[in-house]
Structure 1
Amino acid sequence: MHRWPVRVYYEDTDLAGIVYYANYLRFIERARTEWIREVGIDQTRLKEVEGAVFAVRRVEADYLSPARFDDALTVTTAPLRLTPARIELDQQVLRSDRVLFAARVTLACLGPDMRPRRLPAGLAAALSELMRN
């Protein structure tokens, strides 16, 4: 499981002083990018060489408890399922051990024509190995 720290800034909050709901999506997007980088995938190279990019196809989100200005949070990312053209992830935003936000995210692999395509073989192999461990 990948862990990525994030601090809540004033700009992340709404009039009530809690994290604006859409900003949780920004937090988990950044954590996914760092997870992909840690797995060893260079997304710029993936696009240039393989012609492949990722797009969010689906997000199921549960807002469980609010985060507030200056909170130190952790975003976790764990792969759940891999298909030939999709990656399904479990992501959570936590303050200490308390889950504030939980999401199941489905990423689709797209080709240069923005149509679904199979994950490049090397990427699929790396992700499969990661899921076995």
Structure 2
Amino acid sequence: MTHRFSLRVYYEDTDLAGIVYYANYLKFIERARSEWVRSIGIDQARMKAEDNTVFVVRRVEADYLRSALFDDVLVVDTSVFLATPARLVLDQIVRRKEEKLFVARVTLVAVGAGGRAVRLPAELRRIVPAGG
């Protein structure tokens, strides 16, 4: 299952040349992941309040392929690469129309009280079965 998230590049996202500043791609894919989690029915605020559990990024592998520019409309595709009881690995692609601009593989884990790793929430494990 692939989730699609659209966004527009604003002036604040760019450098002096009107090119998206490299770190902002991480913000774009973070927004897309948050919307993906919401779309599958996971309420992160409730998860934190009731279970004191939050998702954190453990690893990001990223390739910058082409530049996005001021006022571009971008789409971020998010799909599950691998799911285990302890981690979730997502592939994320930022596109302008069909042109790939940025690709990332992001590993998420869940942490509980004191920042200790815990199993992914049962609700998520039911929705996203183990495997790749």
Bucket of the pairwise TM-score, normalised by the shorter protein: over 0.9
Q: In 1, are the aligned partners of 2:42 and 2:123 still within 8 Å (CA)?
A: no
Structure 2 residues without counterparts, runs of 5 or longer: none
Task: Name the CA distance, whole Å, in 2 between partners of 1:33 and 1:120.
Answer: 15
Secondary structure, counterpart of 1:27 in structure 2: helix
**Which position in structure 2 is the counterpart of 1:52?**
53
Task: Say if 2:128 is the partner of 1:127.
Answer: yes
Q: 1:50: Cα distance to partner?
A: 2.0
Task: Name the CA distance, whole Å, in 2 between partners of 1:122 and 1:26.
Answer: 26
Task: Name the CA distance, whole Å, in 2 between partners of 1:49 and 1:128.
Answer: 23
Task: Name the CA distance, whole Å, in 2 between partners of 1:16 and 1:86.
Answer: 38
Task: Name the CA distance, whole Å, in 2 between partners of 1:65 and 1:29.
Answer: 19
Equivalent residue pairs, number: 131
Greater than 3 Å deviation, 4+ residue runs: none
Secondary structure, counterpart of 1:21 in structure 2: coil
Secondary structure, counterpart of 2:129 in structure 1: helix
Tell me which protein shows more helix as a share of its residues.
1
Q: Please identify, of 117-126 and 20-29, the stretch whose mean Cα deviation from structure 2 is larger.
A: 117-126
RMSD over equivalenced CA pairs, Å: 1.4
* TM-score between both structures, scaled by the size of structure 2: 0.95
Task: Name the CA distance, whole Å, in 2 between partners of 1:81 and 1:75.
Answer: 18
**Which position in structure 2 is the counterpart of 1:22?**
23
1:12-64, Cα deviation, whole Å (9 max, x unpaired)? 00122100000000000000000000010000011112221000000000000
Task: Name the CA distance, whole Å, in 1 between partners of 2:86 and 2:52.
Answer: 14
Q: In 2, are the aligned partners of 1:50 and 1:120 still within 8 Å (CA)?
A: no
